[in-house]
């Protein structure tokens, strides 16, 4: 049987190499630059910045980058924040002019200035922040902005606008005000604006980074439809690996260099290198490679070429003879918060904005937060999460119901009592989404100090508290005298968090703390949250990422259209017999595929229990259950 | 707080007044404004109020919107009323109390000024902001001022700047709200304390707001570049301004409204 497997493996690998060489040949045939949508040859670029004293400083962003993107392809440029990947995108659209090297876009060399607009007219660009690319006040006027600039006459202009709006499904919103659309709709509007220009090349610069999973999926489906139906070349800049796995080819950019390139699954096969470049594997590839790693098998690109193949290969690996030591399979000990003590409780809470009492933003919420736990509040944008957390520290007074906060000496404070508000805000710290946009002071020190000042804490006590807060978020003390506006994005976020932590809240509410961060940044953020929990802070985490919620939270609650559908441990919430309205983590979905493949292979039903919190633990779990099943069967 | 502001907010009721050419509305607005400041007689003021209310009715502006438009202006109207009533001492004395003297002239002037400011705001709203999208207003101004292009006045750029500024009002007000919430969570207090302390407190909102405005501006400029914006050279328009028969009719009706006011002012019956 083993021999069969090996030969099969060989067979597939040779087919695979054939495919590879085929692809390479076709690339070679396209060797003439005119066949490439984008041909970039050893391009270097530096940002010029003034250091204050008048001398110019050069900050290199790209250093000798060469990439080729064939016409009609769908290519991802991956890399951590600050790797230069966005600069690369801007160079393609001539929004930045390279210092050195050749850029040929759609067969036109960017060196000739007269060709400048020919290139830009055929490239459309969708940026990250939806608000910063909408020019028109009314939806249809914004869609028309691009073609208007191109001088497209009526009635063709009207036709293009209407078609573009229909294509992205915003026809009903044509006359609405663009500013009042949701984030997902705004990005669709940006796509419509791009589509109306009839581009040959579409560049997405982290366009989905600010969207929730549902909007992200809708957005990508529209893009992929454009790519398939209209043959538009798509270049997507991202650090989301699940998104990357949907592409045909990928480049990894790191510190201004292209470090890896290939089809996405070829890159995923080298998990070590991916991680070293500050990225991570998509969930399916991670579980597959964990399983194969335990079984001492080498992951090949062909194993990961799509989810179903990967599930099959992962199951093959798991069902083979176990080759790891049983000690390796012991599950990591997770310290469960045993406390049943309630620290914050929400009772029958309802709230509606505006005059209409009919449509409630949140309705009949009942929620007990236990001391020392991480509670994740999940749900899609607009489900009422932000309204709920605004109640927790009395930013919003409840219209119906109460919010009770228990202090360290078991006193109960109620947010509807104006006199208790100040103490409630000391107990419940809230860090809103993108907290870095709230920094204001001249120095980091003063910014963090602000809350203490407002609370009336004496000056001599403040310094120690500030230092503790700075250390707890992992910031360097030497930054205290810097201006917060000079820091990097990740550092700014830490300063903003320290500004809340400095008041030593017993409960910390974090609204999407990892949004906009790259995989490495996200991991660091969650390990920071873990440390805060260890120090005894109760954490309420608001997130739309189910995988992260399942991985880090002790309990999860899920909200839908203002109602709380459930609150329980991740294992119970995502139980296969549970409420199917609740979206499952990606790990859960893929693991179910692997599990059923294993059952098929072993010809029996195996009860694997709940899906574990991360890919490694789930891999161990699967292997343990397979061993148990084998033992039972032989007995 | 800022969400309550309706001045500058478009209210789409699809009325004939909404569809009227913005240039006509702009010109008629100016004519109407001049008329409003010419009138002094009570009859003409009543006529002006009637004309304004007819315009509001034609535009189908809901009462809720009218109320929220007027709310922020009432303190100013009250202030002007009080200032006038106590400072004007001509005419017959109606009422004295200690050093306060109220005269009929003062009362008349005070009412006139207060009503004027209210009508001014209402007509600005109904003829411009509530019934005309900011982009159309900008279009109208661009078109009306286009002769100035000959003497190198950057009319198009100014109109574009104006429409972008208006476009960002809701975005920035939303951001203000978010920043305030965050600072309040950290113990900021914008509602109590001395005036100076309150103004100082707003620094914690204004600085982040400025920083983000610059960021918006910077990124928007790049986005406009990417969408091939290069001034008004060779630019077409999705909804070009066109004067139709209906627009001329609307202009005549609006003009007759002004005429009516002036008749009441100057023709004493």
What is the ipTM for the molecules in this complex?
A: 0.84
Beta-carbon separation of B239 and A141 below 8 A = yes
The answer to the question of residue A224 being in a domain is yes
d(CA A422, CA A420): 6
Q: Nearest-CA residue of chain A relative to B14?
A: A175
Beta-carbon separation of B187 and A180 below 8 A = no
The answer to the question of residue A480 being in a domain is yes
Q: What is the DSSP string of A450-489?
A: HHHHHHT--HHHHHHHHHHHHHHTT--GGGGGS-GGGS-H
The closest CB to that of A146, out of B203, B216, B227, belongs to B227
Do A627 and A327 touch, CB atoms closer than 8 A? no
Beta-carbon separation of A153 and B236 below 8 A = yes
The answer to the question of residue A300 being in a domain is no
**Regions in chain B scoring below 70 on pLDDT:** 1-9, 268-269
CA distance A424 to chain B (A): 10
pLDDT at position B91 is 77
CA distance B66 to chain A (A): 16
Tell whether A362 and A256 lie within a shared domain.
no
Element (H, E) at A149: helix A139-150
pLDDT at position A376 is 95
Tell whether A266 and A320 lie within a shared domain.
no
Give contacts of A132 with chain B, Cβ < 8 Å. Answer: 215-216, 219-220, 223
CA distance B35 to chain A (A): 32
CATH code for the domain in which residue A450 is found: 3.40.50.300
Tell whether A166 and A256 lie within a shared domain.
yes
Tell whether A446 and A347 lie within a shared domain.
yes
d(CA A558, CA A545): 11
Beta-carbon separation of B228 and A180 below 8 A = no
Across the A:B interface, residue pairs with CB atoms under 8 Å apart total 152
Do B170 and A177 touch, CB atoms closer than 8 A? yes
pLDDT at position A355 is 59
Tell whether A255 and A315 lie within a shared domain.
no
The closest CB to that of A131, out of B166, B171, B236, belongs to B171
Q: What is the pLDDT of residues A228-257, one digit of tens each?
A: 999 999 999 998 888 999 999 999 999 889
Tell whether A346 and A323 lie within a shared domain.
no
Tell whether A318 and A375 lie within a shared domain.
no
Beta-carbon separation of A151 and B179 below 8 A = no
Beta-carbon separation of A432 and B183 below 8 A = no
Closest CA to A82 of A277, A280, A241, A282: A277
Does residue B223 belong to the interface with chain A, where contact is any CB pair within 8 Å? yes
Do A281 and A268 touch, CB atoms closer than 8 A? yes
Give contacts of B231 with chain A, Cβ < 8 Å. Answer: none
Boundary-marking domain end, from A281, A296, A320: A281
The answer to the question of residue A298 being in a domain is no
pLDDT at position A51 is 62
Q: Nearest-CA residue of chain A relative to B229?
A: A149
Tell whether A216 and A262 lie within a shared domain.
yes
Tell whether A392 and A262 lie within a shared domain.
no
The answer to the question of residue A450 being in a domain is yes
Q: Nearest-CA residue of chain A relative to B167?
A: A137
Beta-carbon separation of B228 and A395 below 8 A = no
Boundary-marking domain end, from A531, A553, A575: A553
pLDDT at position B242 is 85
pLDDT at position A238 is 92
CA distance B159 to chain A (A): 13
Beta-carbon separation of B216 and A141 below 8 A = no
The backbone torsions φ and ψ at residue B31, rounded to the nearest 5 degrees and listed phi first, read -60, -45
Can you give the residue range of the structural domain that contains A437?
A: 342-553
Specify the residue for token string 């301004």: B241
Tell whether A611 and A548 lie within a shared domain.
no
Write out residues 174-213 of B within 8 Å (CB-CB) of A.
174-175, 178-179, 181-189, 203-205, 207-208, 211-212
Beta-carbon separation of A148 and B235 below 8 A = yes
Give contacts of A118 with chain B, Cβ < 8 Å. Answer: none
* The two structure tokens encoding residue A345: 């409780």
The answer to the question of residue A16 being in a domain is no
Report how far Cα A187 is from the mean position of its chain's Cα atoms: 16
Tell whether A230 and A320 lie within a shared domain.
no
**Which three-class secondary structure state does DSSP give residue A354?**
coil
**Regions in chain A scoring below 50 on pLDDT:** 1-32
Give contacts of B226 with chain A, Cβ < 8 Å. Answer: 93, 95, 120, 123-125, 127
Q: Nearest-CA residue of chain B relative to A131?
A: B171
The closest CB to that of A439, out of B208, B224, B239, belongs to B208
Tell whether A323 and A194 lie within a shared domain.
no
A interface mutation test: which of B226, B234, B241 has the most A CBs within 10 A? B226
Do A390 and A570 touch, CB atoms closer than 8 A? no
Q: Nearest-CA residue of chain A relative to B219?
A: A132
Closest CA to A302 of A22, A18, A16: A16
Give contacts of A430 with chain B, Cβ < 8 Å. Answer: 182, 185
Specify the number of domains making up chain A.
3
Give contacts of A180 with chain B, Cβ < 8 Å. Answer: 170
Write out residues 237-266 of B within 8 Å (CB-CB) of A.
237-240
Beta-carbon separation of B240 and A499 below 8 A = no
The answer to the question of residue A17 being in a domain is no
The answer to the question of residue A141 being in a domain is yes
pLDDT at position B268 is 65
């Amino acid at each position: 049987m083993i021999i069969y497997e090996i030969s099969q493996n060989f067979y597939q690998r040779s087919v695979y190499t054939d495919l590879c060489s085929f692809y390479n040949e076709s690339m070679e045939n396209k060797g003439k630059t005119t066949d490439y949508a984008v041909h970039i040859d050893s391009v270097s670029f530096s940002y010029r910045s003034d250091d204050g004293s008048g001398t110019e400083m050069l900050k290199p962003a790209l250093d000798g980058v060469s990439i080729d993107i064939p016409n009609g392809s769908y290519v991802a440029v991956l890399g951590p924040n600050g790797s230069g990947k966005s600069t690369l995108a801007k160079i393609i659209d001539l929004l930045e002019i390279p210092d050195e090297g050749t850029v040929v876009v759609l067969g036109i060399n960017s060196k000739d200035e007269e060709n400048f607009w020919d290139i830009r007219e055929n490239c459309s660009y969708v940026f990250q922040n939806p608000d910063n690319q909408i020019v028109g006040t009314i939806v249809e006027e914004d869609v028309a902005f691009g073609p208007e600039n191109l001088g497209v006459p009526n009635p063709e202009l009207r036709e293009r606008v209407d078609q573009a709006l229909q294509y992205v499904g915003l026809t009903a919103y044509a006359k609405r005000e663009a500013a009042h659309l949701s984030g997902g709709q705004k990005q669709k509007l940006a796509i419509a604006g791009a589509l109306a220009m009839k581009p040959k090349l579409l560049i997405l610069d982290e366009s989905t980074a600010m969207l929730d999973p549902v909007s992200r999926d809708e957005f990508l489906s529209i893009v992929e439809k454009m790519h398939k139906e209209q043959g538009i070349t798509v270049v997507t800049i991202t650090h989301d690996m699940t998104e990357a796995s949907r592409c045909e080819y990928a480049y990894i950019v790191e510190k201004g260099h292209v470090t890896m390139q290939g089809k996405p699954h070829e890159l995923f096969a080298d998990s070590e290198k991916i991680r070293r470049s500050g990225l991570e594997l998509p969930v399916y590839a991670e579980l597959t490679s964990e399983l194969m790693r335990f079984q001492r098998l080498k992951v090949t690109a062909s194993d990961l070429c799509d989810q179903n193949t990967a599930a099959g290969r992962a199951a093959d690996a798991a069902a083979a003879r176990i080759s790891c030591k049983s000690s390796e399979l012991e599950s990591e000990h997770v310290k469960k918060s045993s406390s049943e003590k309630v620290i914050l409780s929400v009772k029958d809470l309802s709230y509606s904005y505006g005059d209409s009492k009919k449509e409630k933003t949140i309705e009949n919420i009942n929620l007990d937060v236990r001391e020392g736990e991480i509670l994740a509040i999940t749900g899609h944008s607009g489900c009422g999460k932000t309204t709920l957390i605004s109640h927790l520290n009395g930013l919003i007074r409840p219209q119906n119901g109460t919010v009770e906060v228990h202090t360290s000496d078991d006193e109960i404070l109620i947010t509807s009592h104006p006199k208790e508000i100040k103490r409630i805000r000391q107990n419940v710290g809230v860090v809103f989404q993108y907290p870095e946009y709230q920094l204001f002071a001249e120095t980091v020190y003063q910014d963090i100090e602000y809350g203490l000042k407002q609370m009336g804490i004496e000056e001599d006590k403040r310094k120690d508290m500030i230092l503790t807060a700075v250390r707890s978020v992992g910031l360097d003390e030497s930054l205290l005298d810097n201006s917060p506006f000079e820091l990097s994005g990740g550092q700014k976020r830490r300063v903003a968090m320290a500004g809340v932590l400095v008041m030593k809240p017993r409960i910390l509410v974090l609204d999407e703390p990892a949004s906009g961060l790259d995989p490495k940044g996200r991991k660091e953020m969650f390990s920071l949250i873990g440390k805060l929990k260890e120090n005894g802070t109760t954490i309420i985490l608001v997130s739309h990422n189910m995988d992260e919620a399942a991985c880090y939270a002790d309990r999860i609650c899920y909200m839908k259209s203002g109602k709380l559908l459930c609150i329980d441990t991740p294992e119970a919430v995502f139980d296969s017999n549970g409420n199917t309205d609740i979206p499952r983590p990606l790990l859960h979905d893929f693991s179910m595929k692997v599990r059923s493949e294993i059952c098929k292979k072993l010809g029996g039903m195996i009860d694997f229990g709940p899906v574990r919190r991360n890919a490694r633990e789930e891999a161990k779990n699967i292997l343990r259950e397979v061993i148990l099943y084998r033992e039972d069967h032989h007995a | 707080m800022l969400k309550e502001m309706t001045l500058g907010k478009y209210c789409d009721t699809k009325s004939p007044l909404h569809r009227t050419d913005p240039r006509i509305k702009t010109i008629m607005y100016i004519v109407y404004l001049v008329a409003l400041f010419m009138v002094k007689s009570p009859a003409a003021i009543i006529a002006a109020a009637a004309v304004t209310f007819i315009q509001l009715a034609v535009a189908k502006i809901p009462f809720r919107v009218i109320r929220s438009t007027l709310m922020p202006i009432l303190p100013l109207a009250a202030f002007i009323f009080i200032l006038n009533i106590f400072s004007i001492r001509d005419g017959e004395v109606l009422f004295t109390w200690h050093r306060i003297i109220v005269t009929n002239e003062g009362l008349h002037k005070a009412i006139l000024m207060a009503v004027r400011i209210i009508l001014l705001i209402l007509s600005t709203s109904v003829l411009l902001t509530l019934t005309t999208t900011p982009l159309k207003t900008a279009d109208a101004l661009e078109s009306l001022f286009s002769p100035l292009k000959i003497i190198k006045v950057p009319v198009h750029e100014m109109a574009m700047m104006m429409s972008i500024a208006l476009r960002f009002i809701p975005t920035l007000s939303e951001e203000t709200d978010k920043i305030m919430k965050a600072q309040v969570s950290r113990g900021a207090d914008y509602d109590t304390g001395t005036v100076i302390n309150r103004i100082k407190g707003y620094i914690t909102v204004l600085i982040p707001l400025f920083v983000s405005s610059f960021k918006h501006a910077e990124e928007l400029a790049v986005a406009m570049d990417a969408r091939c914006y290069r001034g008004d050279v060779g630019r077409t328009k999705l909804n070009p301004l066109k004067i139709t028969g209906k627009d001329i009719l609307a202009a005549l009706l609006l003009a007759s409204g002004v005429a009516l006011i002036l008749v009441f002012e100057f023709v004493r019956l």
